[in-house]
Amino acid sequence: MADPVLRVDVAVIGGGPVGGLLASVLARAGVAVAVVEAAPPAALGRAGSDARAIAVSYTSRKVIAGAGAWEAMAPEAGAIQEIRVTDSASPLFLHYDHQEIGDHPLGWIVPNPTIRRSVLEQLTASPGAHLLAPARVERLERLAGRVEIELKDGRRIEAALVVAADGRASATRESAGIAVTRRAYDESAIVCTMTHELPHRGIAHERFLPAGPFAILPLAGNRSGIVWTEPHERAAAICNQDDDAFRAELAERVGGFLGPIGLEGARFHHPLSLHLAQSMIAPRLALVGDAAHGMHPIAGQGMNMGIRDVAALAEVIVDARRLGLDPGAPQVLERYQRWRRFDTMLMLGLTDGLDRLFSNDIPPLRLARRLGLAAINQLPDVKRFFMRHAMGLAGELPRLLRGEKL
Ligand X SMILES: Cc1cc2nc3c(=O)[nH]c(=O)nc-3n(C[C@H](O)[C@H](O)[C@H](O)COP(=O)(O)OP(=O)(O)OC[C@H]3O[C@@H](n4cnc5c(N)ncnc54)[C@H](O)[C@@H]3O)c2cc1C
Binding site for ligand X (CB under 6 A): 13-19, 36-39, 44, 52, 54-55, 136, 165-167, 171, 189, 191, 227, 270, 289-290, 297, 300-304, 306
Determine the 3-state secondary structure of 259 from DSSP. Answer: coil
Residue 186 CB: number of other CB atoms within 10 A? Answer: 12
The rounded distance, in Å, linking the Cα atoms of 327 and 26 is 12
68 or 107: CB nearest ligand X: 107
Residue 36 CB: number of other CB atoms within 10 A? Answer: 27
Short-list 199, 172, 390, CA closest to 282? 172
160 or 226: CB nearest ligand X: 226
The rounded distance, in Å, linking the Cα atoms of 162 and 404 is 25
Shortest distance, position 272 Cβ to ligand X, whole Å: 7
Shortest distance, position 229 Cβ to ligand X, whole Å: 9
The rounded distance, in Å, linking the Cα atoms of 344 and 392 is 12
66 or 167: CB nearest ligand X: 167
The rounded distance, in Å, linking the Cα atoms of 3 and 176 is 28
- Alpha carbon of 253 to those of 185, 197, 211, 247, 297: distances in Å? 22, 16, 12, 10, 19
Shortest distance, position 136 Cβ to ligand X, whole Å: 5
46 or 405: CB nearest ligand X: 46
Which alpha helices (DSSP H) does 97-204 contain, by range? 112-125, 171-175
Short-list 296, 86, 93, 90, CA closest to 208? 86
Contact 49, 195 (CB under 8 A): no
The rounded distance, in Å, linking the Cα atoms of 151 and 155 is 5
231 phi-psi bin (left φ>0, alpha ψ -120 to 50, beta other): beta
Q: Which amino acid is at 388?
A: R
DSSP H or E stretch at residue 147? strand 147-151
13 or 258: CB nearest ligand X: 13
189 or 203: CB nearest ligand X: 189
Shortest distance, position 257 Cβ to ligand X, whole Å: 22
Shortest distance, position 245 Cβ to ligand X, whole Å: 22
299 or 366: CB nearest ligand X: 299
Which alpha helices (DSSP H) does 240-396 contain, by range? 243-254, 302-322, 330-358, 363-378, 380-390
Shortest distance, position 237 Cβ to ligand X, whole Å: 18
Shortest distance, position 271 Cβ to ligand X, whole Å: 9
Shortest distance, position 36 Cβ to ligand X, whole Å: 5
Contact 230, 211 (CB under 8 A): yes
213 or 321: CB nearest ligand X: 213
Backbone angles phi, psi at 218, to 5 degrees: -70, 110
Shortest distance, position 307 Cβ to ligand X, whole Å: 8
The rounded distance, in Å, linking the Cα atoms of 377 and 144 is 54
118 or 304: CB nearest ligand X: 304
289 or 327: CB nearest ligand X: 289
Shortest distance, position 187 Cβ to ligand X, whole Å: 10
